[in-house]
Amino acid sequence: MEIDNRLVIISSESKKYLSVITKGKEFITNDGKVEFDKIKSLPTQIESSTGKIFTIYVPSYKEFILLMKRGPQIIYPKDVGSILISGNINSNSKVLEIGTGSGALTLFLASILGTNSKFYSLDISKKNQYRAKKTISRYLSNYSSDFMNDIQFINTDLSDFKIDTVPFKFDTVITDVPEPWIFFENNHINSNLYWVSYLPSISQVSKLADVLQDNSFKDIEIKETIEREWTIRGNISRPKHTMVGHTGFIVSGRYIL
């Protein structure tokens, strides 16, 4: 197994770090230094310079997203599953993502869409899309090449985008922008389509729901995903004192021709 340049989690009993193995280098923590040259396989355990034991392994999607460097706020892992179900995403879907952002959702879509799918991601910021490309490349480099690797990035303002410039019909539109209703100023939906929007405030939700209804969308749903972990230790079973509460509303609807 090639170890150099692999993306890894470096985990102590109390903290996790995201890093890239680099020959001849070391990772410095409050519990001592971890020498990358000592890593011969993954997963593994390494003793630091202070005698602390670190477990080193390939990160899950959730670990990577929560620990990676970000630009714009990400869509949290707990919301990704709900978005995928609401958008009826499968390996052959044709997806338009509006709002590439830091690339958290973009990455997951890229990891599940197959070679027969289509995936376009729109953002006004070239910086966001450059960051997203690096995020996707870095994470997926740890896995096989059997994933969607042909993402078409569209760098434009939503108000200037016209869906009929794309030479096929999308199955699903997913948005993570403050004013997704702008889409309907220049675009008219005339084929079967799932719509999913991620929005932080109820005033945005209310306006979008009205616009979707005005554009003949059916089955409009508004929901949020609340995630609460539990502590199980011996005879003690209780919810954890902290939880991931409101991160955003998910607004979905379906246009049925």
Domain edges within the chain: 7-59, 64-255
How high is the pLDDT of residue 156?
96
What residue type is assigned to position 103 of the chain? Answer: G
How high is the pLDDT of residue 117?
93
How high is the pLDDT of residue 144?
61
Decide: 101 and 132 in contact? Cβ < 8 Å. Answer: yes
- Fold type of domain 7-59: Vcp-like ATPase; Chain A, domain 2 (3.10.330)
Distance, in Å, from the CA atom of 72 to the CA atom of 50, rounded to the nearest integer, reads 37
Decide: 212 and 251 in contact? Cβ < 8 Å. Answer: yes
Containing 119, the helix (H) or strand (E) segment is strand 118-123
Candidate CATH numbers 3.40.50.1980, 3.40.50.300, 3.40.50.150, 3.30.1490.190; the one for domain 64-255 = 3.40.50.150
Containing 85, the helix (H) or strand (E) segment is helix 77-86
Judged by DSSP in three states, 122 sits in strand
State residue 175 phi and psi, 5-degree precision.
-120, 145
Q: How many residues does the chain have?
A: 257
pTM (2 decimals)? 0.90
CA proximity to 199, closest of 227, 224, 217, 226: 224
Q: From the CA atom positions of the chain, what is the Rg in Å?
A: 21
**DSSP label of 58:** P
Decide: 200 and 51 in contact? Cβ < 8 Å. Answer: no
111, two tokens = 């990891």
How high is the pLDDT of residue 71?
79
How high is the pLDDT of residue 1?
55
How high is the pLDDT of residue 2?
74
Q: What is the mean pLDDT of each run of 10 residues along the chain (257 residues)?
A: 86 94 94 94 94 96 92 89 96 96 94 92 95 89 65 95 93 97 95 97 98 97 93 91 86 95
Side-chain half-sphere CA neighbours of 81 within 13 A? 7
Side-chain half-sphere CA neighbours of 152 within 13 A? 11
